Amino acid sequence: MSAADTTTPTEVPPPLSVPPPPTPSAPRRRRGPGATPWLLLAPCLLILGLVMGYPLVRLVTLSFQKFGQSQLWGFLPAQWVGFDNFTAVLGDGEFWTVVVRTVVFAAGCVIFTMVTGMLIALLLQRVSGWVKTLINIALVASWGMPIVVATTVFKWLFDADYGILNALLSKLPGVEMIGHNWFASGPQGLAVIMLLVVWGAVPFVVITLSAGLTQVPKEMEEAARLDGAGAWGVFRYVTLPILKPIIVMLTTLSVIWDMGVFPQVFVMRNGHPEPEFQILPTYSYDRAFVVNDYAQGSAIALITVLLLLGVVAVYMRQMLKIGEVE
């Protein structure tokens, strides 16, 4: 089944289930579907409202309160403190270091994922059938790996003393890497974590882009080639514009996912990420559950959500375009 099979029909279906011969259907239309759709939606909205809506409101109110251990146990009532938490967070130099680190980390992950994904998707069109099958198996296996499992596997691959990577690198002439600790420095450790994130994220991108590539009409590529376009020209002026909606969707999704990377860092650093490994999600967690300042943790989480709003808007517009077709 390709993406094409599930694309929605372009004609707009009538709002009622009975085909409308214009006049007799008019009274039914006025009655409309009534309460039925709302009844069907009720359980879903109830659950989402309780465990998503309410906490979302609570996240906002919390970030304007003073809420620590004593408030958690109910010894003290939560106290409104206005923008104090935000002033404290935004005035903290460490916070800005973490923000910059998170943005660089996420940008690296997204770019690396999208470029690798695109290259592999294009490569898949050029290899023989059996190579394609092999690559697909490897991709689906890495896609299906639980994140925590993948993290422990990477921890093992990059182990200082017995990790296979150091052993292989040391086989190169003049390289002595046995005992090299990849996690001694923040940037190097985060690069390893980035590799882990990209390894897990590329398969989804490749498989989605491959489905998209099958929609690029061969005649258009052929025509561009006849008009003298090289491989790059065909890609730039034919393939890329057709794939644009998919690329926009994948990129926005990746940004949202990569800004929220948590278990990879947390498990890789054995539950206690060092200061130079902190990114926004772990920093917020740290503030709330290690320092026990739930209010400041919430303020940081809220700032993260606000940072992401622009990206979310782009994604939603793309998805709504699809929603409107029906």
Near other proteins in 261-300, by CB under 8 A: 262-263, 266-267, 270-271, 281, 284-285, 288-289, 294, 297-298
Q: Which residues of 236-266 are buried (b: 16+ CB within 10 A; e: fewer)?
A: eebbeeebeebbebbbbbbbebbbebeebbb
Q: Which is nearer to other proteins, 96 or 156 (CB)?
A: 156
Give the number of residues written for the chain: 326
Q: Which of residues 191-220 bind other proteins (CB under 8 A)?
A: 199, 202-204, 207-208, 211-212, 215
CA geometry: angle 169, 175, 176, nearest 5 deg: 85
8-state DSSP, 127: S
In angstroms, rounded to a whole number, what is the distance separating the alpha carbons of residues 82 and 100?
26
Minimum distance, C-beta of residue 86 to other proteins, in the bound complex (Å): 15
* Contact map string, positions 82 to 111, toward other proteins, x by CB under 8 A: ------------------------------
Q: How far is CA 151 from CA 7, 154, 259, in A?
A: 35, 5, 17
Minimum distance, C-beta of residue 287 to other proteins, in the bound complex (Å): 9
Q: Which is nearer to other proteins, 2 or 87 (CB)?
A: 2
320 is a site residue for other proteins (CB under 8 A): yes
Torsions phi, psi for 79 (to 5 deg): -120, 135
When binding is defined by CB under 8 A, the residue of 259, 273, 277, 278 that contacts other proteins is 259
184 is a site residue for other proteins (CB under 8 A): no
76 is a site residue for other proteins (CB under 8 A): no
What number of other Cβ atoms are within 10 A of residue 1's Cβ? Answer: 6
8-state DSSP, 50: I
CA-CA-CA-CA torsion sign (267, 270, 272, 274) = negative
Q: Which is nearer to other proteins, 90 or 157 (CB)?
A: 157
Q: Which is nearer to other proteins, 174 or 271 (CB)?
A: 271
Q: What's the burial of 209, exposed, middle or buried (CB within 10 Å: 0-12/13-18/19+)?
A: buried
Q: Which of residues 8-67 bind other proteins (CB under 8 A)?
A: 8-10, 13, 15-19, 32-33, 36-38, 40-41, 43-45, 47-48, 50-52, 54-56, 58-59, 62
When binding is defined by CB under 8 A, the residue of 76, 100, 107, 148 that contacts other proteins is 148
81 is a site residue for other proteins (CB under 8 A): no
In angstroms, rounded to a whole number, what is the distance separating the alpha carbons of residues 105 and 312?
19
8-state DSSP, 49: I
In angstroms, rounded to a whole number, what is the distance separating the alpha carbons of residues 223 and 234?
9
Q: Which is nearer to other proteins, 186 or 263 (CB)?
A: 263
Minimum distance, C-beta of residue 180 to other proteins, in the bound complex (Å): 13
When binding is defined by CB under 8 A, the residue of 104, 235, 256, 292 that contacts other proteins is 256
Q: Which of residues 123-142 bind other proteins (CB under 8 A)?
A: 123-124, 126-128, 131-132, 134-135, 137-142
